[in-house]
Structure 1
Amino acid sequence: MLVSGLTLAVGLPRQHAEAHDGDHPPPAAKPAEVYQPSVLPDRVILTVLEDPRTSVAVTWRTSALVHQGWAEIVVADHGPRFESRARRLPAKTTALQTDINTAHFHSVRFEGLQPATTYTYRVGDGVNWSEWLQFRTAAAEPEPFSFVYFGDAQNSVRSLWSRVIREAFRDAPRAAFLLHAGDLINRAESDAEWGEWFGAGGWMNGMIPTVAVPGNHEQARLPGGARGLSRHWRPQFEFPLNGPPGLEETCYTFTYHNLRVVALDSNRDLQRQAVWLDQVLADNECEWVVCTFHHPIFSTSKLRDNRELRNLWKPVFDRYRVDLVLQGHDHAYGRSGLQVPDQAEVAGPAGDEQQNVAEGAQVLDPHTGTVYVVSVSGPKMYPNRRPPFMRRVGEDTQLYQIIHIDGHRLRFEARTAAGALYDAFELTKRPGQVNALREIEPEIPERLREPIESASVREPATP
């Protein structure tokens, strides 16, 4: 009878299934209740620090009743009898009054760790603890590794973005870190939206370190009318403090094996960051360089252009032959080859200040060798203007990207929310030259609302 009843319920038309208690709909969940903090830790998240071989940070949330947080950490054991060996560290605590509650955020920096070692840790107040979670430090010497890159999650995060980050985990469960190129949520000061974002990642956030930069939707209206960084950002993310003064935890850099990652804040202080970026890359000794920020150097969406950003930052990328630039913001996919317009500023139609780059004649520079990617992981979608120097474009497609690095080779894979290979290529280092680029056949054709009307001018891959 139970099976029969379940079968009947599944088969009901939607209008009948939605009826409840005398045709009254079920009550909607109240965000203030759903995302109410308690004495039990939630929103546990690991974040990268300057040296992932020996350090990582953890942050978590509790109610304001918890005034002192603690983290316990121990080298992972094969059995359950390890708690007595755990080292206990005090947390830094920050109070945050949100639009629906008041919470305390606690953070600890685990430092002095051993490379290539799995650690077990938990967080709490000494009585109320999280589950034991695990992470692994980077090895002392370079070895093959992967990381995952997401464009904007932003909207309907719980209902429509959760599947993307979880599908990415199925493909890359041993990822070194998860990289988010801004617009993690839509409303900067909405605690419910932040709750959705943390819920989507769930325990993955507590086991794989996060790298994130703020987008325009992490900017909030400040007293006096100006816009500035969301009050949620710094309490809930503990990032490196090695960026320009005033841009702490939004502009920073770290190394992972033979990769230098530079995270930039494209919302403000672009000139100061250009100077800092030049210094970072001048001192760089890593073989690979990846830069990430929110607003694209070359936009994929119509009526969008970030000329000041391009004028200030692209010459630095060119000078140091940055390998890969990972961006978001435009809600459409685009990936260049090694050749992009050589001018920092390329005018659109006369009088059109919003028109995107490179509408008219272009001169593609064969010497810089930077691949630019714009991607989107959430459900908000814009039309793609299909820049002719992009090797692969897409519309109406939720994507995640896995980047594999093994010595002199870098492999890039963009996969859809259903796991299909949408775009892929391989870069190989060549001493004194730009990288060699090898295109890899995707599993599905380009997803576009309308066919491309004319042949795109797309440069050939290098041999």
Structure 2
Amino acid sequence: MSEKHVTDRRNFLGTLTKAGIMGSIGLTPLAAAAKAVTDTEAAIEPAAYAFACPPYLQNPEPTAVTIMWMSNRPSYAWVEHGETETLGKTAHHSEGGIVDSYNTLHRVRLENLQPDTTYYYCVKSKEIADFQPYKLTYGETISSQMFSFKTPARKPQEVSWLVLNDIHDRPQSIPHLVGLNKDPYDFVFFNGDIFDYQTDEKQIIDHLLQPAGQAFASVKPFIFTRGNHETRGKFRRELGNYFDGPYYFTKTWGPVHFTVIDTGEDKTDDHPVYAGIVDFDKYREQQAEWFQKVVQTPEFKKAPFRVVMMHIPHYYSGDWHGPMECRRLFAPLFEKHKIDLFLAGHTHRYGVHQPVAGQHAYPIVIGGGPKDGNRTLIKVKAMNKDLNLVMLKDDGTEVGKVDLRSKR
């Protein structure tokens, strides 16, 4: 007998048992059963209309930023914003003449902002109680508290960021690790394996969007790339919908040119656990070809610091297929085009590996995790001539350091 049939049978027998009790006090079995069902329905009241997570900032630019959030029922949503707490401007997202509505995941891009300027905002969602072809019925409107953020300068002289990796579905680690930082920073980078695997939307809310929003993400943006664990599970394809940007990309912020690479899985594509539905070898090769174009850009060539961030390190992570493919594809390119710093995770063994002749001419920094005592926060600050990195263990002690002087 299937688990569902067992559960249904137990529920049915439970209802009949209640009906028998009610019959002994004067109700017929059918009336008693009906009453039991009615009582059960009355006890399960729908949750109040509310936000499913705080707003979180994505894809910051000197003149734009994306604000995302979620509500627990289909809604029409918008952002009120301005340079003072009086706000005064309203923005929503539309495409092809249709305004986003009747959805629970909301994404609004604020554009035409001023660089290096503080903005205030709140997000609002109005429930759509009924959506007929020629009649739409609104319900309640909810509003967030007021938050603020600052746009990057057009040509900033410095940039600071925090790196978290290998949280593995331990949401309490996010506020704890970010809380170790006492210095100004511009954004947080999640360098993979924030989850064990992708199950459903609730997991994304409870284990990332809620704790990140409560800790920092409503006022500071975060950037996300996948680890090998984010490629697993039935909800893996949908994960990207919750961020404003791809998994691999480049970005220039102040003196740093960032290259973010999505390293895929650590096993061979034909491993039985993947059941023939992955193609990461080709995906990594595509990114290697893409990187050869990146290094020809003026942004890469002129940057005082060239930083690569990706989940699986190409050294110090064993001889599994994924790390070895990363070494084959990317190590020669990183050497040839003289990157300055490499940041990774994956191994759960934190460490700072200084340059080694004949292997890598740049420091390789690997964050730890996910267990208490092995979790890390990586802090990086770069100015036009100097880059300083400090790695903290989860008790606040320093466990690694890198100081670089620009070669360009």
- Contact 1:300–1:334 under 8 Å retained in 2: no
CA distance in structure 1 between the aligned counterparts of 2:334 and 2:101, rounded to whole angstroms? 37
Partner of 2:259: 262
1:319 equivalent in alignment to 2:336:
yes
Counterpart amino acid of residue 362 in structure 2: T
SS, match of residue 180 in structure 2:
helix
Shift of 1:377: 4.3
* Aligned equivalent of 1:212: 224
Whether the aligned pair in 1 keeps the contact of 2:304 and 2:407 (CA below 8 Å) is: no
Offset of 1:219 from its aligned partner?
A: 1.4
TM-score (norm 2): 0.73
Counterpart position of 1:164: 177
Going from structure 1 to structure 2, the CA distance change for 1:323 and 1:286 (only over 3 Å counts) comes to: same
Superposed, which structure 2 residues align to 1:273-292 within 5 Å? 273-283=287-297, 284=300, 285-292=302-309
Q: Distance in 1 between matches of 2:254 and 2:369?
A: 27
The one-character-per-residue Cα deviations of 1:163-216 (angstroms, maximum 9, x if unpaired) are 112223xx23x3111011101111212444321222322331111111110111
TM-score by length of 1: 0.64
Assess, with a 3 A threshold, how the Cα gap between structure 1 residues 294 and 106 changes in structure 2: closer, same or farther: same
Match of 1:253 among 250, 253, 258: 250
TM-aligned CA deviation for residue 111 of structure 1: 2.1
Q: RMSD of the TM alignment (CA)?
A: 2.6
Could you say which residue in structure 2 is the equivalent of 1:107? 107
Structure 1 or 2: larger helix share? 2
1:151 maps to which of 119, 143, 165: 165
In percent, how many aligned pairs have the same letter? 20
Change (3 A) 1:165 1:38: farther
What one-letter code is carried by the residue in structure 2 that aligns with 1:105? L
Q: Which has the larger radius of gyration?
A: 2
1:138 matched to 2:152? The reply is yes
TM-superposed deviation, 1:428: 0.3
**Hey, what's the Cα distance between the residues in 2 that align with 1:164 and 1:301?**
27
Of residues 306, 310, 316, the one that matches 1:293 is 310
* Residue of structure 2 equivalent to 1:236: 242
Q: Distance in 2 between matches of 1:308 and 1:37?
A: 50
Residue 310 of structure 1: how far off its partner (Å): 0.8
Output the CA distance in 1 between the equivalents of 2:247 and 2:378.
22
1:94 to partner: Cα distance: 8.8
* Conservation of the 8 A alpha-carbon contact between 2:62 and 2:115: yes
What is aligned with 1:225? Answer: none
From the superposition, tell whether residues 37 and 166 of structure 1 become closer, same or farther in structure 2 (CA, over 3 Å). farther
Give 1 or 2: higher strand fraction: 2
Correspondence list, 1:3-152, <5 A: 38-40=49-51, 42-49=53-60, 52-66=61-75, 68-75=76-83, 77=84, 80=85, 82-83=86-87, 85-90=88-93, 93=100, 104-125=104-125, 127-152=141-166
8 Å contact kept, 1:161–1:377: no
Provide the aligned length of Structure 1 versus Structure 2. Answer: 323
Give distance in 1, aligned partners of 2:201 and 2:49. Answer: 14
Q: Deviations over 1:114-167 (max 9, x none)?
A: 111111112222531211111111112232331101121113323x44311222
